[in-house]
Amino acid sequence: MPLMTGEQYIESLRKLNTQVYLFGKKEPNWIDHPIIRPSINCLAMTYDLAHDPEYADLMTATSSLTGRTINRFCHLHMSTDDLIKKIKMQRLLGQKTASCFQRCVGMDAFNAVFSTTFECDEKYGTHYHENFKKYLTYVQDNDLTIDGAMTDPKGDRGKTHRDQPDPDLFVRIVEKRPDGIVVRGAKAHQTGSINSHEHLVMPTQAVAEGDKAYAVCFAAPSDAPGLFMIYGRQASDTRKLEPGADIDLGNKKFGGQEALVVFDNVFIPNDRIFLCEEADYAAMLVERFAGYHRQSYGGCKVGVGDVIIGAAALAAEYNGAQKASHVKDKLIEMTHLNETLYSCGIACSCEGCATKAGNFQIDLLLANVCKQNVTRFPYEIVRLAEDIAGGLMVTMPSEQDFKSDLKVPTASNFSLGEWCDKFFAGAEGVTTENRMRVLRFLENICLGSSAVGYRTESMHGAGSPQAQRIMIARQGNIEGKKELAKVIAGIKE
């Protein structure tokens, strides 16, 4: 089928029997739920921009499997140019939504699974690579959104797979059949999971030979029997349930989404299995997916950062402080930090190389450096934005107060809304409403539901800071650097 539009994507979700639970009950019409719909709108943007001629070069690609035009989110990176366009596409979408557009994890999973299955087949004579190529062709031809599912609940972090009191805290194979396998467990913090057509499940960490039941990679439809999701709530999410909510929402149209995805004895047919007890390939898959996903943060978070910088500049203008030297300096620092993140995303892309399977992988060291910076710089960007915005960002009355016609029985006989408009006025020529809108927008990104897709996700998405430090230590080649020093210093051993 041709590339879907955003509306066609939303309608395609309605055809699924996805089981979603929110606030302790099953949500039969979760697609139109006011808390969930902004995240769907955000993902729909990945479809709509693919139809815009201005962005076609970034948003679409030619499939290496079929030769057909596909959405870049379904693409295998076949050159460093593809890797660079990925980052530029993600920055664009961050600029358009100021939120998490959720489709990156599937794209990153495609590329990691493609190369890993090739090398696993090379060693063991398995057929996982052909399985995956057929699956990815199906995904591309139908323009599907796939949840790249890696993070397990993990339970006691001090215990291995086999030592957990509950063996289901990591996804595992519980039964092998002639026609497939049965899996049980869960994936936590799954970005865009309920908004996805399918889930591509991977191991979450290296697997010891004695724990090989946990070395499993497979694809399952979102409405597979035994699969259900519990929606993760976010700060200030119930504001979306308030009648007539608008200004108080900050980012009314777009938002991110995470959920717990549960697999309760889900059957996976043989042609959808891409790793099955090959424990020695679990670490490779984890490392490659993590590398691709850490690269992603040099694009998506930068795009959102662009919007935050713009909103902070607007807030300064509406406060009448735009000419202050310290405000100008803070905006410069925010821009410097944001462009440094982008530079890292571009650098690890430019330094990419071909895998044995033929698709391109980023430079893993630089990708981990990119994500390590993302665990820090967005926090400083947000801090500076809050500094520029001022305390009113978190102390102003509600939208209902600003709109209220209720008369306050005092000498002036003003309404509640008139009092708010009077005392929260900013720079001359700027409406109080516009000032309120930009401050609520910054509140939403810095502290509210959008903080999940920017600030907090910057810390823990694609692995928390220590995960990158481990990889940096592993790939930093300290021994090679010691040899460089020895040669120049004249040291002979």
Tell me: pLDDT of 156 over 90.
yes
Average pLDDT (268-296) is 98
Burial 349-362 (b: 16+ CB within 10 A, else e): beebeebebebbbb
CATH topology for the 6-281 domain: Butyryl-CoA Dehydrogenase, subunit A; domain 2 (2.40.110)
Banded model confidence at residue 1, pLDDT cuts 50, 70, 90: low
- The residue annotated as part of the active site, out of 27, 278, 399, 457, is 457
- The residue annotated as part of the active site, out of 77, 231, 293, 454, is 293
Banded model confidence at residue 455, pLDDT cuts 50, 70, 90: confident
d(CA 21, CA 16): 15
Burial class of residue 211, CB neighbours in 10 A (0-12, 13-18, 19+): buried
Average pLDDT (306-321) is 98
Let me know: does 421 contact 403? Beta carbons within 8 Å.
no
Active-site residue, 353 included: no
Tell me: pLDDT of 336 over 80.
yes
> Which pLDDT value is given to residue 491?
97
- The residue annotated as part of the active site, out of 42, 100, 344, 446, is 100
Q: Which residue has the tokens 């191991």?
A: 203
d(CA 297, CA 13): 27
- The residue annotated as part of the active site, out of 120, 300, 420, 446, is 300
Active-site residue, 42 included: no
For the chain, give the mean pLDDT.
Answer: 97
End-to-end CA distance of the chain: 65
pLDDT digits (tens, 9 = 90+) for 412-426: 999 999 999 999 999
Average pLDDT (143-157) is 97
**Spans of all domains in the chain:** 6-281, 287-483
Banded model confidence at residue 45, pLDDT cuts 50, 70, 90: very high
> Which pLDDT value is given to residue 372?
97
Average pLDDT (344-361) is 98
* Among candidate residues 359, 284, 452, 433, the one with its CA nearest the CA of residue 110: 359
Average pLDDT (85-110) is 97
Active-site residue, 297 included: yes
Token reading at 392: 């009113």
Tell me: pLDDT of 7 over 90.
yes
Q: Which residue has the tokens 């299955």?
A: 117
* Among candidate residues 374, 312, 358, 293, the one with its CA nearest the CA of residue 90: 293
Active-site residue, 104 included: yes
Same-fold call for 6-281 versus 287-483: no
Tell me: pLDDT of 150 over 90.
yes
Average pLDDT (147-160) is 96
Tell me: pLDDT of 186 over 80.
yes
Let me know: does 186 contact 262? Beta carbons within 8 Å.
yes
Average pLDDT (466-474) is 94
Query: What percentage of the chain exceeds 70 in pLDDT?
Result: 100
- The residue annotated as part of the active site, out of 27, 198, 258, 278, is 258
- The residue annotated as part of the active site, out of 145, 191, 355, 432, is 191
> Angle 19-237-223 (CA atoms, 0-180°, nearest 5)?
10
- Main-chain phi, psi angles of 287, to 5 degrees: -65, -40
> Which pLDDT value is given to residue 449?
83
pLDDT digits (tens, 9 = 90+) for 115-132: 999 999 999 999 999 999
Banded model confidence at residue 71, pLDDT cuts 50, 70, 90: very high
Active-site residue, 191 included: yes
Let me know: does 198 contact 139? Beta carbons within 8 Å.
yes
Average pLDDT (331-353) is 98
- The residue annotated as part of the active site, out of 104, 120, 344, 446, is 104
Active-site residue, 75 included: no
- The residue annotated as part of the active site, out of 47, 231, 281, 297, is 297
> Which pLDDT value is given to residue 292?
98
Active-site residue, 120 included: no
Tell me: pLDDT of 259 over 90.
yes
Alpha carbon 343 to its chain centroid, in Å, reads 19
The CATH classification number of 287-483 equals 1.20.140.10
Banded model confidence at residue 448, pLDDT cuts 50, 70, 90: confident
Tell me: pLDDT of 279 over 80.
yes
> Which pLDDT value is given to residue 451?
77
